[in-house]
Amino acid sequence: MSEEALLGSILINPGVLWSVRDVLSGSQSFQIARHGIIYDAMCSIPAIDFTLLCRELENRDRLKEVGGAAYLTQLVQAVPTAMHAEHYAHLVENAYQLRRLTGAAGRIAQVAHEVNDAKEAHARSLEVLHGIAPKQVGYGVRPLNDIVDENIARLQGMMDGDPEAMGLNPGFSDLNRAWGGLQRGKLIIIGGRPGMAKSSLCENIAHSVCNSGKNVVFFSAEMSSEELMTRMACRVARVDSTALKSGDVSDSEKARVWGAVSDIQKLPLWVDDQASITTSEMRLRLAQFRYPVDLVLVDYIQRLGDKGDSEVLRVERIAQALKNIARTLDVPVIAISQLSRAVEHRSPPIPTLSDLRSSGGLEQESDLVVFLYRNDYYVELGLADDIPLHRNICCINTAKNRSGRTRMDYLRFDPTYTLFQDLDKETLERLRQA
């Protein structure tokens, strides 16, 4: 009955079609086949009236199939007014989603029967459920005027320097300016070879964002939660973690560690250290999170458990999933990516975007691509010359930036405490002129 009432409402008042289209998934939302055919024809003609609709269906050779002009007349008579068209649309869409859920339940049962590995079966089941998730109202074609109205306050905040409108501050002044803050809905890739302090930078950013009272979720597929906690405590206490693990610490250092532990306990940081976690599992856990999520970090992409016919396709699938998480949750997502050994065949071995192109769709899906390079690391390996000015310096190369310029920035890095810090103006200027 609601399908007939909806189509009849559109015929009575064609103007309601615009609000109806924002609710329905499409002609597939109709359970009765001929109703889907009629709705599809309605959406295809520039102006809806009885005669034009009949002509469109006739041109498609579908008029007789839907019951002819007599059935269209019956639809008009099925409802006295078009006032409740959007309500009918919600009823139709709700019934469609319930039918999809019933079908998904059958497919999940089939997966459980065919797949022997429980983890893989769980991941496939999550993919089935995500595939039938109802579309979000508000997406689709909208007039620019509505979009402007929704964003006036944010634009004003940006002009006034309001931190809430500028994106999350990563904790470093130059990076904050270069990136325009950590913007909602953006995927940020931090790439580099092992030993470049990628995880350390993410930990420093997470700590800074947490200090501002924002909720951070850290998916650590490489390090355990215990290791992350120890590194964070040592960083805050300025204690060498290697010395701590061997018990070679003084009483004053022990006191500083306990003080640091007390401080970091208060941080709004949540850690998931499941090895080989999949993006489907990440999405489910974030959806179930009981607090608003402000920032998501992933360490690192190549360790995630998503499947693919090849490594390139697997990474491409992961990149698309991470971008979808950023968009649907409206949060910045920072993901670490390892780079191939090809970087080290150059002198100096500084990474570029071409090193990322072999990693599936990371470059295409990302909004910001950042590469880390530490000359100190390669000096120890004999692959780079020792440059005094670059000692304890990490080069931060923003190689792709959809919302701004690409540029090279520099931070001081202390490997003893895995600590990043802003540089003084004089050192920064010398590095930029070198």
Q: Which of 328, 282, 287, 284 is nearest to 301 (CA)?
A: 282
409 φ/ψ sector (left φ>0, alpha ψ -120 to 50, else beta): beta
Q: Are 257 and 234 in contact (CB under 8 A)?
A: yes
Q: Which of 46-50, 178-182, 323-327 has the lowest mean pLDDT?
A: 46-50
Both 321 and 176 in one domain: the answer is: yes
Q: What is the pLDDT of residue 333?
A: 97
Tell me what the mean pLDDT of segment 317-328 comes to. Answer: 89
Q: Quick check: helix, strand or coil at residue 290? A: coil
Q: Tell whether 381 is covered by a domain.
A: no
Q: Give the residue from 77, 108, 141 where a domain finishes.
A: 141
Cα separation, 372 vs 386, in Å, equals 18
Q: Which of 33-47, 155-169, 229-243 has the lowest mean pLDDT?
A: 155-169
Tell me what the mean pLDDT of segment 204-220 comes to. Answer: 94
User: Per the structure block, which two tokens stand in for 235?
Assistant: 């960083």
User: Per the structure block, which two tokens stand in for 87?
Assistant: 């309500």
Give the residues across from 421 on adjacent strands.
412
Has residue 25 got a pLDDT over 50?
Answer: yes
Q: What is the pLDDT of residue 133?
A: 66
Q: Give the residue from 125, 141, 157 where a domain finishes.
A: 141
Both 117 and 171 in one domain: the answer is: no
Both 12 and 80 in one domain: the answer is: yes
Tell me what the mean pLDDT of segment 90-101 comes to. Answer: 92
Both 211 and 284 in one domain: the answer is: yes
pLDDT band for 309, please (50, 70, 90 cuts): confident
For the chain, what is the domain count?
A: 2
pLDDT 10s digits, 243-264: 888 888 888 888 998 999 989 9
Q: Could you give the maximum distance between any two Cα atoms of the chain, in Å? A: 92
- Give the residue with greater pLDDT, 141 vs 28: 28
Q: Tell whether 389 is covered by a domain.
A: no
Both 171 and 136 in one domain: the answer is: no
Cα separation, 334 vs 323, in Å, equals 10
- Give the residue with greater pLDDT, 427 vs 128: 427
Both 117 and 173 in one domain: the answer is: no
Both 28 and 172 in one domain: the answer is: no
User: Per the structure block, which two tokens stand in for 375?
Assistant: 């000359």
Both 173 and 83 in one domain: the answer is: no
Strands 333-338 and 368-373: unpaired
Cross-sheet strand order for the sheet of 187-192 = 269-272, 216-220, 295-299, 333-338, 187-192, 368-373, 393-401, 407-414, 419-421
Has residue 157 got a pLDDT over 80?
Answer: no
Q: Tell whether 220 is covered by a domain.
A: yes
Q: Which of 64-78, 82-96, 121-135, 265-279 has the lowest mean pLDDT?
A: 121-135
- At residue 394, φ and ψ (nearest 5 deg) are -115, 125
Question: Domain of 137?
Answer: 1-141
Q: Tell whether 392 is covered by a domain.
A: no
Q: Are 115 and 124 in contact (CB under 8 A)?
A: yes
Element (H, E) at 86: helix 85-114
Q: What is the pLDDT of residue 329?
A: 86
Q: Tell whether 122 is covered by a domain.
A: yes
Both 125 and 176 in one domain: the answer is: no
Q: What is the pLDDT of residue 73?
A: 93
Has residue 299 got a pLDDT over 80?
Answer: yes
H helical segments located in 238-310: 241-246, 251-264, 279-287
pLDDT 10s digits, 341-393: 878 777 778 888 888 765 657 888 899 999 999 998 888 888 788 888 889 99
Q: What is the pLDDT of residue 378?
A: 87
Both 172 and 55 in one domain: the answer is: no
Cα separation, 111 vs 120, in Å, equals 9
Residue 274 belongs to domain with CATH number: 3.40.50.300
CA dihedral over 126, 128, 133, 135, signed as positive or negative: positive
Both 206 and 322 in one domain: the answer is: yes
Strands 269-272 and 419-421: unpaired
State the chain's mean pLDDT as an integer: 87
With vertex at residue 204, the alpha carbon angle to CA 370 and CA 374, rounded to the nearest 5 degrees, is 50
Cα separation, 424 vs 432, in Å, equals 12
Cα separation, 31 vs 98, in Å, equals 11
Rg (CA), the chain: 28
pLDDT 10s digits, 4-13: 999 999 999 9
Residue 63 belongs to domain with CATH number: 1.10.860.10
Q: What is the pLDDT of residue 135?
A: 54
User: Per the structure block, which two tokens stand in for 410?
Assistant: 């520099």
Share of the chain above pLDDT 90, in %: 39
Residue carrying structure tokens 């000359």: 375
Both 229 and 289 in one domain: the answer is: yes
Q: Tell whether 378 is covered by a domain.
A: no
User: Per the structure block, which two tokens stand in for 97?
Assistant: 């989603």
> Is residue 71 reached through a cis peptide bond, with omega within 30 degrees of 0 on the bond before it?
no
Q: Which of 76-80, 222-226, 348-352 has the lowest mean pLDDT?
A: 348-352
Our CA dihedral for 311, 316, 318, 322, rounded to 10 degrees, sits at 160
Q: Tell whether 153 is covered by a domain.
A: no
pLDDT 10s digits, 125-139: 877 877 676 655 445
Q: Tell whether 62 is covered by a domain.
A: yes
Q: What is the pLDDT of residue 138?
A: 47
